[in-house]
Structure 1
Amino acid sequence: MLVLDQLSKSYGGRTVLSNLSHSFRPGEFVAIMGESGVGKSTLLNIIAGLDTPDSGQVLVDGAPMSALDDAAATRLRRSRMGFIFQAFHVLPHLTLRQNVALPLLLNRDPLERADQMLDAVGLGGRGADFPRQLSGGELQRVAIARALVHRPALLLADEPTGNLDPETAAGILALLRQETRLSGAGAIMVTHSHAAAAMADQILILSHSGLKLA
């Protein structure tokens, strides 16, 4: 489903990724760990097509992302991918229900699942609230509900439990596992949490030498 082929990326003369190659199997839940600054978030952004490598390519279902124009890349992301950002990117002028329903609206899917996902992340009954009324941990749960609501084929999660207490984090990780298994989706989760990584089928360590099994 997803192949990384000789990816390299530098910022301001500093090499972040160097000739990185790896293949991810369909339906596999993978955790990526590593020291700060080795390029974990950069790698997720490149996979999603939100950033471009200096060299190499990302292949999704055998097709190179670089061959897609901006409109096609946007359609691929909104229909086939779900992304949980560290910064949440919850839209402040929309209610929680509207935020979660946004992928459904863009894909012209029924909107009822938005309330189901709010319930699943422990925010049932709060669909009419606005982001300004929520804590950081609650905003993170909204972002998780939005990433899962359209049943993406590939979930990309950047520290999805970083602002959650251990009990809530365990519930959210169980939800990620359940949702990806039900839909047969692949998932790549960047995390510093060993407890979160333990939920994955496979743990990879990213270093300046590349990706290797933990």
Structure 2
Amino acid sequence: MLELRHITKSYANRRRVLTDLAYTLAAGEYVAIMGESGVGKSTLLNLIAGLDTPDSGEILIDGVSMSALADDAATRLRRLKMGFVFQAFHVLPHLTLQQNVALPLLLNGHTMQRADEMLAAVGLAGRGGDFPRQLSGGEMQRVAIARALVHKPALVLADEPTGNLDPDTAHNVLMLLRDEVKSNGASAILVTHSHAAAATADRILELRMDGLHPV
């Protein structure tokens, strides 16, 4: 599903965060990545998503090299094959919940029907006409998960998705994320500082400058 080939990346101040990083994520595998602050976990997700480019190395999604794609082609690949869940939600305030969840469907030329199905799956049945301002933090994160999974992406990337949630809500969100990923047969990477969150994944890896190491 995902192959990282000798990825190196430095910040603008020339501090290197990733050095010759190599890893292969199998189809259907769900891994958690932990590591100290500043080690490059979020940077790694941005590189995988094609939102940033490595200084050297190659990232392949289903055998397709991201660096070989023009901007439009890379955008299409992200829309079709990837789903993103972020700590800050990125739910659009001027859109209803149904419209927020349906965005990936509309961008891929599909109908909005599955948006209502996904809202029901995350416990928000009948709330499609509501706006984000009417939701709690935990409910907004559930909307974000529904949006990330509505188009059945092959690869889900989650960056600290429960960092702002209370423990009970965080647990429910993580179980929901895992269940939806598994039911769709997707591969997933969860970046987290939380050992409890990491324990919901199939495997836990620690990111260090010299690579990813099993925990």
Task: Using structure 1 for the length normalisation, give the TM-score.
Answer: 0.94
| 37-46 or 108-117, which deviates more | 108-117
Determine what percentage of the aligned residue pairs are the same residue: 71
Residue 173 of structure 1 aligns to which amino acid in structure 2? L
**Shift in Å at residue 122 of structure 1?**
2.8
CA separation in 1, counterparts of 2:24 and 2:155?
A: 14
The whole-number CA distance in structure 2 between the counterparts of 1:206 and 1:181 is 24
Aligned residues between the structures: 214
The equivalent residue for 2:156 is 155
The residue type equivalent to 1:172 in the other structure is V
Structural RMSD (CA): 1.4
In structure 2, what is the Cα distance between the partners aligned to 1:87 and 1:51?
A: 19
Q: What is the 5 A alignment of 1:15-34?
A: 15-34=16-35
User: Displacement, 1:125?
Assistant: 2.5
Equivalent residue, structure 1, for 2:110: 109
Q: Indicate yes or no: 2:55 matched with 1:86.
A: no
Structure 2, unaligned stretches of length 5 or more? none
Aligned mates of 2:149, 2:83 — CA distance in 1: 6
Moved more, 120-129 or 92-101: 120-129
1:143-183 deviation digits (Å, cap 9, x = unpaired): 11100111110000001222222222222222222222222
Mark the runs of 5 or more structure 1 residues left unpaired by the alignment: none
Q: SS state of the match for residue 59, structure 1?
A: strand
Question: Is 1:7 equivalent to 2:10 in the alignment?
Answer: no
What is the CA-CA distance between 1:58 and the residue it aligns to?
0.3
Deviation at 1:135, TM superposition (A): 3.2
TM-score for the superposition, normalised by structure 2: 0.94
Q: Equivalents in 2 of 1:164, 1:115: separation in Å?
A: 24
TM-superposition CA deviations, 1:38-97 (whole Å, max 9, x none): 010010010010111111110112221000111111111111100112222212221111
SS of corresponding position for 1:178: helix
Q: Secondary structure at the match of 1:128?
A: coil
Matched ranges for 1:41-190 at <5 A: 41-190=42-191
After TM superposition, the runs of 4+ consecutive aligned structure 1 residues lying more than 6 A away are none
1:6 match: secondary structure: strand
